[in-house]
A and B are shown apart, each in its own frame.
Chain A
Amino acid sequence: MSFTIYTATGCTRCKIIKQLMNEKGIAFEEQDMKAEGKEAFQKFYAANRKAIFRGPDGVEFPLLHDGTTLRQGIGACVAYLLSGTKLDGFFSVGTLHKEWVDGIHVSGGNPEYTTEFLAALQYIKKGNNMKLQMDTNGLNSAILEQILAQDLADVVIMNVLGPKELYSQLAGKAVDIDEVEKSLSLVTKFPEYKLQTTVDPVVREDGEISYLSTKEIGATAKFIAEATGSMKNPYLVKLFKPKECKDERFKTIEAMPAGTLLSYRTAARAHQVFVEIEKN
């Protein structure tokens, strides 16, 4: 297995990954897309462009390739180098810069590998002085508890998918609602946290697809109030963006006009007084 790392001149995250490979004695070749590696990167990009993530600032570096597997961004690269594919799902490419690292999904991976996950976070945060922004949808609450205990997260964003009754459906799998409640009670204890709900489309009993109703968002806000014991959480209600959706069923659904969120805010306000709505 031979590693190639694609970097951009001056990219600190790239240096962190090179350092980790050196520590572990992994041999690698570096291609700097702004210098001598320009052509190599161009070829690599043309061959892999569907798998390469582009954020608002373009291609995110580093890109790590071992001949078969591609990993992009500091989190995913660290995870792969430390634990191989075990941590898949916990990391994606983030879009934050400077000292901030995001794209860390507490609920996204296999809880059997909690120890490995925490070690990867430890390496990024404590080993390299980065700040971590994580997200959760309430699943893997035991991991969240350990993250709190070990002081690994600077910001936690919790996506509260919807009201209790719809949670499993919105998550796409059976969810133990106690887990979500536990995560809610934990999330308020982090140095900084935010709660948010996207007004998602839902397949109803009769097969019709419709967006979460104002009543259901009201029920979500109530659920948050009960689980956190507070009506005053920072809470954001967001618009669903069909174009960015990966679920084929919802790609063609009509986007909700932004003004509609006003009525959702009214509904959520009764239980979360500081609710804000997403602006276009």
Chain B
Amino acid sequence: MTKPIAELTFLSEIHYFHEHTWANVEGDLVKVGITDFAQDSLGNIIFVELPNVGETYSKGDEFGQAESAKTVSALYMPVSGEIVEVNSQLEEAPQHVNEDPYGAGWMIVVKPSNLDEIKELLTKEDYLNQIK
């Protein structure tokens, strides 16, 4: 059962990609995960498939997938760049994505090839309008 949007959490300081991933600038790196809306729609996540460190992807590329018993959902890059770190904790504890999608449930850290792409992403308000 999915929750009404009002009961979900959306942070103001991060950027949103229309394919339901978020991006948070940390120095010259960008941390990426999925939104509260996305984890809620997926239901209990039982596995997260993540890329290898060193691989590069373009914005909009599929970098992995999140799987629940009911569905499999592709994960999309909000910015282009090289993967410099992946959240290996999710291998053992994919439930972190459900429990804390903006914190312990983060997925990858990207070294962006073009930081300007951040400006093209949605604000909290834009994203809320999209999922309404």
Q: In the assembled complex, how far is the CB of residue B38 from the closest CB belonging to chain A, in whole angstroms?
A: 17
- For the complex, what is the distance from the CA of A49 to the CA of B49, rounded to whole Å? 11
Is A182 an interface residue when CB atoms closer than 8 A count as contact? Answer: no
Among B7-15, B27-35, B67-75, B81-89, the stretch in contact with A: B67-75
* Binary flags per residue of A228-247, CB closer than 8 Å to B gives 1, else 0: 00000000000000000000
Is B46 an interface residue when CB atoms closer than 8 A count as contact? Answer: yes
B94 touches A42 (CB 8 A): yes
Known: A42-B94, A42-B95. Is A49-B69 also a contact (CB below 8 A)?
Answer: no
Between A and B, how many residue pairs show CB distances below 8 Å? Answer: 27
- For the complex, what is the distance from the CA of A49 to the CA of B45, rounded to whole Å? 13
List residues 1-51 of chain B with CB under 8 A from any CB of chain A. Answer: 44, 46-47
Among A53-61, A196-204, A254-262, the stretch in contact with B: A53-61
Is B120 an interface residue when CB atoms closer than 8 A count as contact? Answer: no
Q: In the assembled complex, how far is the CB of residue B96 from the closest CB belonging to chain A, in whole angstroms?
A: 12
B47 touches A8 (CB 8 A): no
A38 touches B70 (CB 8 A): no
Known: A45-B47, A46-B46, A46-B47. Is A57-B94 also a contact (CB below 8 A)?
Answer: no
List residues 243-273 of chain A with CB under 8 A from any CB of chain B. Answer: none
Can you sample 6 A-B contacts with CB below 8 Å?
A42-B47, A42-B94, A42-B95, A46-B47, A49-B47, A59-B69
Is B117 an interface residue when CB atoms closer than 8 A count as contact? Answer: no
Question: A54 contacts which chain B residues (CB < 8 A)?
Answer: 72
- The dominant DSSP class at the B interface is mixed
Question: B44 contacts which chain A residues (CB < 8 A)?
Answer: 38
* Binary flags per residue of B82-123, CB closer than 8 Å to A gives 1, else 0: 000000000100110000000000000000000000000000
- For the complex, what is the distance from the CA of A8 to the CA of B68, rounded to whole Å? 13
Chain B positions near chain A (C-beta within 8 angstroms): 44, 46-47, 67-72, 91, 94-95
B46 touches A57 (CB 8 A): no
Who on chain B is nearest to A39 by CB?
Answer: B95
Who on chain A is nearest to B71 by CB?
Answer: A58
How many A residues touch B, CB cutoff 8 Å? 12
Question: B72 contacts which chain A residues (CB < 8 A)?
Answer: 54
Question: B70 contacts which chain A residues (CB < 8 A)?
Answer: 57-59
Q: In the assembled complex, how far is the CB of residue A52 from the closest CB belonging to chain B, in whole angstroms?
A: 10
Is A28 an interface residue when CB atoms closer than 8 A count as contact? Answer: no
The 4 closest A-B pairs by CB, nearest first: A58-B70, A45-B46, A42-B46, A59-B69
Who on chain B is nearest to A38 by CB?
Answer: B44
Who on chain B is nearest to A49 by CB?
Answer: B47
Q: In the assembled complex, how far is the CB of residue A62 from the closest CB belonging to chain B, in whole angstroms?
A: 12
Q: In the assembled complex, how far is the CB of residue A8 from the closest CB belonging to chain B, in whole angstroms?
A: 7
- For the complex, what is the distance from the CA of A45 to the CA of B46, rounded to whole Å? 7
Is A41 an interface residue when CB atoms closer than 8 A count as contact? Answer: yes
Who on chain B is nearest to A33 by CB?
Answer: B69
Known: A38-B44, A45-B47, A49-B47. Is A58-B68 also a contact (CB below 8 A)?
Answer: yes
- For the complex, what is the distance from the CA of A45 to the CA of B47, rounded to whole Å? 7
Question: B71 contacts which chain A residues (CB < 8 A)?
Answer: 58
List residues 28-70 of chain A with CB under 8 A from any CB of chain B. Answer: 33, 38, 41-42, 45-46, 49, 54, 57-59
